[in-house]
Amino acid sequence: MEQRVGPGDRTLYIDREDGDIGTKGPFFVVYLDDERERRWGFFCGNCETFNNAMDSMGRIRCNDCSNLRKAEEWDAAHE
């Protein structure tokens, strides 16, 4: 796993083998430890940032480049 300094000068671990497809590039899973026991969030593979957010439907959007992963589950009632 790749080690990087994230927000608050915290050491984070990017798993480039575990990711999801986005509209501009992949989103990789990020952990607090290199044993993959404490998941932290996601890393945008397009612009190389931790600055993204996930909503209740499972969509991930990068706040820097607008890379987007579609919802994990889709329901027409949410449109």
What is the pTM for the complete model shown?
A: 0.85
The pLDDT value recorded for residue 45 is 96
Asked if residue 76 is part of any domain, the answer here is no
> Into how many domains does the chain fold?
1
* Cα–Cα distance, 50 to 27 (Å, whole number): 10
CA atoms within 13 Å, Cβ hemisphere of 5: 2
Establish if 77 belongs to a structural domain.
no
For residue 5, the SS3 value is strand
pLDDT at position 65 is 97
In a domain, 64, yes or no: yes
pLDDT at 17 over 80: yes
Q: Is residue 15 part of a domain?
A: yes
C-alpha 33/C-alpha 22 separation (Å) is 24
Q: Is the pLDDT of residue 27 over 70?
A: yes
Q: Which amino acid is at 64?
A: D
Q: Predicted confidence band at 66 (pLDDT cuts at 50, 70, 90)?
A: very high
Is 32 domain-assigned? yes
Domain coverage including residue 33: 2-71
Position 78 in a domain: no
Whether residue 44 lies inside any domain: the answer is: yes
- pLDDT on residue 75: 57
